[in-house]
Structure 1
Amino acid sequence: MLQLIIASVQAILQVMTVVICGLIFAKAGYFPMDKQKWLSKLNLMYFTPCLLFSNVASIISFDKLLAYWPIPVFYYTYSLVFYAITQLATRLGGLPRQQRRFVLACVMFQNTNSLPLAIISSLAVSEAASLLFWHADDTPDEVAARGISYTLFFAIFGNLLRWSYGYRLLQTHNDDVVVTDDDDSSKINANNIYQGYHDTEQQQQWHAPSTSSSLDRHQAVNETSALLPKPPNSNNSSSSSSSNNAIMQRLTLRIQQIMTPPLYAALLALVVGLSPLQQVLYNPHSFLYPSFTKAIEMCGKAAVPIILSCLGAQLASMTGEATEEHGGHDDTATATTMTSCVTLAVVMRMLVAPLFVFPLVILFVQYGSAYSILATDPVFIVMMLVLGCTPTAINLIQIAQVNGMFEHEMLSMLFWSYGVVCVPLVTLVVFVALNVVDRLL
């Protein structure tokens, strides 16, 4: 038990060390808010796609897709369950629509990288490693390797959904009401907030064509029709063509709203990993591996430190804003709503979600061995339990920062999740998971 507590504390301290460094540099004046926004956007456009491409393309294959089929089933089952219980809880709680989106993102998208990897690495070298042996010849190194492989494969599907649907949840919507200080006029209108990397002007052109140009085209058609004979089906063909164009424009706009640079990178990685290109890029003896592939991996390693540094810097900025506003005219209703949605998100993610995760995994242990050999692997069972119960993903703060939405709420969510609840809860989850493995396998 002591080793589990130490492992959890070490994983949290690893994260907090980088966060504190960002906070210190921000307090010293080296990391102002405009630079935080710029760095978050650069990370979204460049370093995070490199990280996702490296993680996905290097491990995915058709063999693993076939052997690891329970992993995507678990992920999307978790997501559907989390979606359903969150929608029910937020509606019963009477939260506004935009706050419901925030809670939904926090509950659906959990930490699938840093914390689970630290836990399985620590478990593999602890006294509990013997409980995770799959066969008589199993070793701690093999335990760690399998746990890391399961975690990274689980993260593939998490990243695909997080950078599409999750990104959309944390964007500004047309019906959102953004309440800010009077001095910060750039945030009063929700339509002026930066919405990802998409070109707003281009979207406006697609949504609302010029009225004058439409009239000109209409007049031109009328004048032409008076001089030239009209083909018999000209009206039908023109209306059909305009209808098809409108459908294509709406479809293109919808795709652009969903797609993000990290999602493009993940999809490209799937193409590479499931094709002969994987050997070209990831064979250590190929020409591109030490030059191109290693360069992408090197850039990808910068993504997580940048996210954590921006988190610390933003925490410093928000602390300064809170100090300036103390004693001023605070919007009590807005503060109450923010507190309510953060409290509900923490409770749902950290306390309610595990109550649904454990029964699902236990059912798989009891009845899944006839369908997949993974049901008999103790490492797989422990990792599915841990991955379903981890706190909210840290990189959601990156999405919130880029979109200019839910920044205060996300900071508060991450503080309570990682700074207060994480260590005792994760320790309890791992302890119960080991007991499940010990009793059922």
Structure 2
Amino acid sequence: MGFWTLFEVASMPILQVLLISGLGAFMATEYCGLLTADARKSLNKIVFMVFTPSLMFAGLARTVTFQDIISWWFMPVNIAFTFLIGGMLGWIVVKLLKPKPYLEGLVIATCASGNLGNLLLIIVPAICNEDNSPFGDKSACSSVGLSYASFSMALGGFFIWTYTYQLVRSSSVKYKELQAVDDFSKQPNKDLDSNESTRLLKGENQEPVAISVHSTKTVEDVEDQAVISQESSGKSEKESATLWGKFVGFLHKILEELLAPATLAAILGFIFGAISWLRKLIIGDSAPLRVIQDSIKLLGDGTIPCITLILGGNLTQGLRTSRIRPWVILGVLSVRYIISPAIGIGVVKAANSLGFLPPDPLYHYVLMVQFTLPPAMNIGTMTQLFNVGQEECSVLFLWTYLAAALALTFWSTVYMWILS
């Protein structure tokens, strides 16, 4: 199949995203006023709690089998590579371009964490539905592609709320430290009579007082040393307790992610897809409980338009000035859309040559696209949670998602050309 034919196939889903995102951006303006910040938050909660879990369950339960679960083992490894490689490249960007200290974690997180769910849910089925798609039958391709995207979304959420969460959290710690230093430096000096000589070293006639230091030890000194040693041991116990508390908090965050609606829906979808008698209860024209699957699918169909509208509305926050330098933005764009996709081709081709991947070219395509996606929208949620770098994050999102329109079209064409 010709390169330009594949380019046309790859451009259609991106144009759909641009059109619906543009509508969402217009709805978020003051002129329209439909998608205000509060409205986006409410709609996002509905998408998170109802629409996305429904879409994931419906897609996985209908198409996934036990054999599929075994053959997809490389996808979590591939996603881990995207975070590892992106994080290393982001660290290089930070060291070379030196953004403000409280933005270092945000820059690394933006380079490492791709939008592994929402955009894949849009792009993959849309490409499958094109007439010149290289992935075979439209219906079968769309169903399987939806399963790949749902599995990617479940795995991506786990990595984002563990690895990326810690990066943004570290940025908030640095931001608070800088704020504390800045507030301290701004405190006025109320001692108007003080100079380079402190009054504690002068007598009543303002003459310097000689200070003598004795090196003899007394019983009181020994007791003081014992108290100090006890205090130091108490501090070490407190530090160990703090480390344990951090570890427990980390495990608690992982458990929260595992209990998230989308993750639970993915687990249930795998169970119903892998166990044949459960599958026959809800899947198929003769299934006694097929109305449940039909209802869940109906709810899931609202996911893609809603998340695309929210995406467009959120990007309007980036239309403002910020304290992030243009070179940092260019560094993030280079990592996400030049270096990472090229590395992704090498990773997937190497895994295929070693026999780690099933022969499905659509599966290979999804693995490659995972290296090319713009930053995860959850990073914006984390910056709001920790109250750090919100404006800078919005500006990064604006430029990375605008550039994604060209980058995703180009790289999707390259991927399909390689795999066809």
How would you bin the TM-score normalised by the shorter chain? 0.5 to 0.7
Q: Which 5+ residue runs of structure 1 have no aligned equivalent?
A: 134-138, 181-187, 190-241, 323-329
Change in 2 beyond 3 A, CA 1:91/1:295: farther
Q: Find the residue that maps to 2:371 and give its secondary structure.
A: helix
1:32-431 to structure 2, matched below 5 A, reads 32-40=36-44, 43-44=47-48, 47-48=51-52, 51=55, 61-113=65-117, 115-116=119-120, 118=123, 121-122=126-127, 125-127=130-132, 129=134, 132=135, 139=137, 141-170=139-168, 173-177=172-176, 251-260=247-256, 264-269=260-265, 271-273=267-269, 275=271, 280=278, 283-284=282-283, 290-291=291-292, 297-316=297-316, 319=319, 322=320, 335=323, 337-365=324-352, 367-369=353-355, 371-372=356-357, 374=358, 376-394=359-377, 396-400=379-383, 404-419=387-402, 421-431=403-413
Deviation at 1:348, TM superposition (A): 0.8
Aligned length: 354
Deviation at 1:253, TM superposition (A): 3.2
Q: Within 2, Cα distance between the matches of 1:355 and 1:95?
A: 25
Deviation string, structure 1 residues 360-388 (Cα, Å, up to 9, x no partner): 122233x323x55x2x4433333322332
Q: Find the residue that maps to 2:370 and give its secondary structure.
A: helix
Give 2:22's aligned amino acid: I
Change in 2 beyond 3 A, CA 1:266/1:146: closer
Give 1:390's aligned amino acid: L
- TM-score normalised over the length of structure 2: 0.66
Q: Within 2, Cα distance between the matches of 1:423 and 1:276?
A: 36
Q: Find the residue that maps to 2:33 and give its secondary structure.
A: coil
Deviation at 1:89, TM superposition (A): 2.7
State the identity as a percent: 19
Q: Within 1, Cα distance between the matches of 2:57 and 2:133?
A: 33
- TM-score normalised over the length of structure 1: 0.64
C-alpha contact (below 8 Å) 1:45/1:261 kept by paired residues = no
Deviation at 1:297, TM superposition (A): 4.8
C-alpha contact (below 8 Å) 2:345/2:368 kept by paired residues = yes
Give the root-mean-square deviation of aligned CA atoms.
4.3
Change in 2 beyond 3 A, CA 1:77/1:90: same
Deviation string, structure 1 residues 121-161 (Cα, Å, up to 9, x no partner): 436644462xx56xxxxx45545554444343333322322
Worse-matched range after superposition: 262-271 or 150-159 = 262-271
Deviation string, structure 1 residues 196-250 (Cα, Å, up to 9, x no partner): xxxxxxxxxxxxxxxxxxxxxxxxxxxxxxxxxxxxxxxxxxxxxx999988765
C-alpha contact (below 8 Å) 1:125/1:140 kept by paired residues = yes
Give 1:385's aligned amino acid: M
Alignment-derived partner of residue 27 in structure 2: 25
C-alpha contact (below 8 Å) 1:103/1:345 kept by paired residues = yes
C-alpha contact (below 8 Å) 1:361/1:384 kept by paired residues = yes
C-alpha contact (below 8 Å) 1:315/1:411 kept by paired residues = yes
Alignment-derived partner of residue 432 in structure 1: 414
Deviation at 1:93, TM superposition (A): 2.6
